[in-house]
Amino acid sequence: MKAHSRLDRVSDSLLESIVQITGQRDRDSLELSLVKTLHELIASRRIVLHRIDYVQGKRHLLPQVHFEHDEYVLENLEFDEEDETSPLLDDFPDFLASLESRQMVKCRCLCDSEECSQFIYPIFGSADRVVGFLEIDSANHDGVNHKLVGGFLKIYHNYLMILDDSERDTLTGLLNRKTFDNNIAKITSAYRNADANGANPKGQLRRRQMHTDWSHWLAVIDIDFFKSVNDRFGHLYGDEVLLLLARIMEKTFRHNDRLFRFGGEEFVVVLEPASFDNAWSVLERFRKAVESYTFPQVGKVTVSAGFTHIRSDEIPATVVGHADEALYYAKHNGRNRVCSYEKLIEEGVLGGEHYTSEIELF
């Protein structure tokens, strides 16, 4: 009877853990739930979930969430292109061995000055690509625990694929409008917390000091005369233009810039913290890349863009509205150009009004 009761308790605990993991609706919560679940089910001193960032032929190892000393920390550390000390995966031979073998690797480590074992499990993403690792430091990690970890990593993988499908635009593969709302809300919230605590929006997680002229930027991008593309060549070629434009975006923008299809021929980019000049430069680079590209059957296509910096005291709708006003100005004044909301205000050509006209904007 006692054995049966213990089995019931274990079964209830496992079921509750699965419910907790599959009840999450974003990646941060999913990762945190996985680490919490595994800590509660197995004996461990330390658990860390790492992500691999593949950037310009190099692989960077970035901690995302960890448990240590009875504390859960959601790090969500991102690769910083200007930080030369960003950890390279090649500098961690045990993690590299797990990546190459695609299996768990066991090694020795110190846990609070005591010798224990370290277990490194590969985490698989789409197309069975290794996208990260789960690191567990434990003095007592037996075969049962190994099976539990393997099972929960499979559940995590399956649910991650479901989340990925729900976050992506079906045609272009870019992030969708629903995901945009969640992302922009997190950024403005981070800035509000930073203002309250006197820290930069990433706190200690970004090694680069956040200067006063560095911030996230939001750009709204629209294809010029896209309606005429659909009218002249049909929606099939119109869809191909949208798909190819998305590929140009992925090649042009930086690794941590977030790219969204906002709807129709309109796209939104949330730029990682940068100066005004850098933000302008990357948007101009994209505009020129589109201008120089020859689209099959359609030929030449151009885009217009309006951008603004993201402030902590503004709601997401206001931020998008400011970028839209800059976009409307670009559309009214020649198209195929990038306009800054702040610059237009400073120059006195925008007074906060919304542009309306009989000319075709989109």
| Residue 61 identity (one-letter amino acid) | L
* Whether residue 265 lies in the annotated active site: yes
Supply 253's token pair. 């923008």
What b-and-e string marks burial along 80-101, b requiring 16 or more CB atoms within 10 Å of the CB? Answer: beeeeebbebeebebbbebbee
Q: What backbone phi and psi angles, to 5 degrees, belong to 346?
A: -60, -35
Give the whole-angstrom CA distance, residue 211 versus residue 275: 9
Handedness of CA 227, 229, 233, 239 (dihedral sign): negative
Q: Is 76 left (phi over 0), alpha (psi -120 to 50) or beta?
A: left
Give the whole-angstrom CA distance, residue 103 versus residue 120: 8
Give the whole-angstrom CA distance, residue 154 versus residue 45: 22
Q: What is the DSSP letter of 314?
A: S
Handedness of CA 341, 343, 345, 350 (dihedral sign): negative
Are 273 and 214 spatial neighbours (Cβ–Cβ below 8 Å)? yes
Give the whole-angstrom CA distance, residue 50 versus residue 91: 14
Q: Which one of the listed residues 240, 265, 272, 325 is annotated catalytic? A: 265
Supply 4's token pair. 């049966």
* Residues 6 or more apart in contact with residue 349 via CB below 8 angstroms: 329
- Catalytic amino acids? 265
